[in-house]
Homo-oligomer: A and B are copies of this chain.
Amino acid sequence: MSKKNAILLAATELFSQKGYEGASMAELSRMTGAAGGTIFHHFKNKEDLFLNILRGIKEIILNSFDQYLEDGNLKNGMDMVEGAVSFYLQLASQMPTQFLLLHQHFPYKMAETNPVCRDYLESIYNCLLDNFEKGIVKGQKDGTIENVPARKCAMILFSMVDGIARFNTYQLYNAGALYDELIMMCRKMLRSDAYAPRG
């Protein structure tokens, strides 16, 4: 592996473990065996290094999402919503280091002043959030989902699933153990009354 890639990989680990301010270039140098100067040869400064990492994460997520849509076997809107939940949880468990990064505060802090950072974050979250919203809208057309405010409910769904993924990321609870209940609750939240069981 090229030294540049080794730096990117180690820095991802370091930023996600210690945060942006807590990660030092000297430690990164130690981790990779690269001299201090080498890091700044490949990246113009610490912020630029972080933005390169974030861009990589964005590309992985957007590519995974495209892949997921191609493979998708989505019969109706409710299936699409459930698929979005699965997709999100699988993604989060497949790349825990990257999600640990995304689940910290400093990227959002940086986004307040850095438009490139903001752009990357928006791309990531729009991709994930829109996935829920499209499912709801589709479900409302095919009758599987009730007439609820699509964007708002997508946000509620998103924050629910993201919170569960966060349990996993922070190693507070195994998200997989909540999967069945999560899917069940999504169905009950959204299903049109015509499909609700009768008392």
Mark A residues whose CB is within 8 Å of B: 18-22, 100, 103-106, 108-109, 148-149, 152-153, 155-156, 158-160, 162-164, 166-167, 170, 172-173, 177-178, 181-182, 184-185, 188-189, 192-199
CB distance from A152 to the nearest CB of B (A): 5
A108 neighbours in B (Cβ, 8 Å): 170, 172
Known: A21-B22, A159-B164, A160-B163. 12 other contacts (CB 8 A): A19-B19, A19-B22, A19-B105, A19-B106, A153-B181, A158-B163, A188-B189, A192-B199, A193-B196, A196-B199, A198-B198, A198-B199
CB distance from A74 to the nearest CB of B (A): 22
A163 neighbours in B (Cβ, 8 Å): 158-160, 162-163
Bound-state Cα–Cα, A199 to B166, Å: 36
A152 neighbours in B (Cβ, 8 Å): 177-178, 181
A153 neighbours in B (Cβ, 8 Å): 181, 185
Name which residue of chain B comes closest to A153, CB basis.
B181
Bound-state Cα–Cα, A178 to B152, Å: 6
Bound-state Cα–Cα, A155 to B168, Å: 12
Name which residue of chain B comes closest to A149, CB basis.
B181
Bound-state Cα–Cα, A20 to B106, Å: 11
Bound-state Cα–Cα, A109 to B105, Å: 13
A198 neighbours in B (Cβ, 8 Å): 193, 196, 198-199
Bound-state Cα–Cα, A173 to B154, Å: 13
Are A189 and B178 CB-contacts (below 8 A) given A159-B160, A160-B163, A164-B159?
no
The listed residue (B18, B104, B156, B192) touching A164 by CB distance below 8 A is B156
CB distance from A132 to the nearest CB of B (A): 13
Are A156 and B170 CB-contacts (below 8 A) given A105-B103, A163-B163, A196-B196?
no
Give the 3 A-B CB pairs with smallest separation, nearest first. Answer: A159-B163, A21-B21, A160-B160
